[in-house]
Amino acid sequence: MSQSIVSSTNLETKSLVFECETGNYHTFCPISCVSWLYQKIEDSFFLVIGTKTCGYFLQNALGVMIFAEPRYAMAELEESDISAQLNDYKELKRLCLQIKQDRNPSVIVWIGTCTTEIIKMDLEGMAPRLEREIEIPIVVARANGLDYAFTQGEDTVLSAMAQRCPEFSSNELSNEENNVIVSQSKIANIKENLSNQKAQVTPLVLFGSVPNTVATELNLELNRQGIDISGWLPSQHYVNLPALGKNVYVCGINPFLSRTATTLMRRRKCQLIGAPFPIGPDGTRAWIEKICSVFNIEPQGLEEREQKIWQSLENDLQLICGKSVFFMGDNLLEVSLARFLIRCGMIVYEIGIPYMDRRFQASELEFLEKTCLEMNVPIPRIIEKPDNYYQIQRIRELQPDLVITGMAHANPLEARGITTKWSVEFTFSQIHGFSNARQILDLVTRPLKRQKTLKNFNFTK
């Protein structure tokens, strides 16, 4: 144990070091993705197929949204269902017909759980037949607790939905090429010095679920560079899913979408743009620059745009500069957040992460290493599947100013005088793009300000 602590707290590393501790997972269930996907896909309905435990979880996790009339329901499996004494198809048909009558959605998403996985429930076999009968598309996604992190529930749903996107035809590309003059004039109106650049005619699809305000901001940032977005996966409406094919470029928004990226490349033959993720002003600039390089466009005004954001964050940066942070690992956003906080002047002792797809996060990892070298700070070790027992020992030894952790460990750490922040809050906050950098800093500085206030408060009075 002591050897593990020493090796992981060595802060003299000059290159990325990966370790794997094969610890247990302490995270939300991936079916929680329903909470944000039903809001993003406005004409959808999510049917979670599981036991009463799944229902209790959704009831507690999503109970605060009851006034928003969420479009999801539970198909609870009883003992007779699990022992195969009842006809699953008839029961699911009854529920889907009721959903059609009450809500008439454009798509019904079946969310499989651990139970459906264990009893080998043939959801993929039943869905096409039932889809023909009720005349509503049914998408099957096995967002069960066998995944590493709760955010991978979105990855599973988007991977399944990617296979339902229409096929991009070469005729559509020809039509875009015929409109190249219009595209060039649009570029000239945005930036005069881009008038001689080659116009973008190849479709670009962005994948990842973000609020509409964030999607609009990212669209505008790319439009300023003369790049048009062909569509988003997921789209606001199921009928508006983007066309995909071998002539389509795709780029991810979130680092936990590796399964979706694989589906887009292997099954839909799209071309993936490997870029750092648009989290923080530095990440957003690098993300835009990488997309521009693919389309042979010289980016304009990004350096000034980034510097303007950093200047607006000056007060918060002074508060966290020189402070240390420790990531226990929960939502797969850890590498991107660590890179941003290092750029803010913080010291990252350790990046715990439940699962690391080094291919999909290759650009982000390279950007992390580059950021550490530019800021002249040690490169933190990345611990995949961290063992929380060993992590607690390292936290006691290092005494970081802030620990970003899952909800299961926050209160026990706080009781031991360690300042924490729930990692799940980064998942539900708007953290993408230039303007949302303040949201990230607010989440980080809030517990530090609280701790400072408590230290100055005299409890003896």
Is 321 marked within a binding site? Answer: no
* Whole-number Å distance between alpha carbons of 218 and 435: 10
Is 29 marked within a binding site? Answer: yes
Largest CA distance in the chain: 78
Please state the three-class secondary structure of 314-347 as a single string. Answer: HHHHHHHCCCEEEECCCCCCHHHHHHHHHHCCCE
Angle ∠(418,420,423) on CA atoms, nearest 5? 150
* Whole-number Å distance between alpha carbons of 12 and 149: 30
Residue with tokens 């590498």: 335
Q: Exposed/middle/buried for 423, CB within 10 Å: 0-12, 13-18, 19+?
A: buried
* Whole-number Å distance between alpha carbons of 456 and 454: 5
* Residue 118: closest CA among 94, 144, 92, 97: 144
Q: Exposed/middle/buried for 14, CB within 10 Å: 0-12, 13-18, 19+?
A: exposed
Q: How far is CA 341 from CA 8, 337, 441, in A?
A: 20, 6, 9
User: In a 3-state reduction of DSSP, which class is residue 67?
Assistant: helix
Residue 154 gets the label, from left (phi > 0), alpha (psi -120 to 50) or beta, of alpha
Is 54 marked within a binding site? Answer: yes
* Whole-number Å distance between alpha carbons of 155 and 150: 10
User: In a 3-state reduction of DSSP, which class is residue 404?
Assistant: strand
Q: Which two tokens stand for residue 168?
A: 């991009």
Angle ∠(50,55,61) on CA atoms, nearest 5? 125
Q: Regarding beta strands 381-384 and 347-353, do their DSSP bridges make them parallel or antiparallel, or are they unpaired?
A: parallel
* Whole-number Å distance between alpha carbons of 138 and 132: 9
Residues near 200 by beta carbon (within 8 Å), at least 6 away in sequence: 183, 226, 227, 228, 295, 297
* Whole-number Å distance between alpha carbons of 135 and 261: 29
* Whole-number Å distance between alpha carbons of 432 and 52: 35
Length of the chain: 461
DSSP state of 278: S
In the annotated binding site for [4Fe-4S] cluster, the residues are 29, 54, 114
In the annotated binding site, the residues are 29, 54, 114
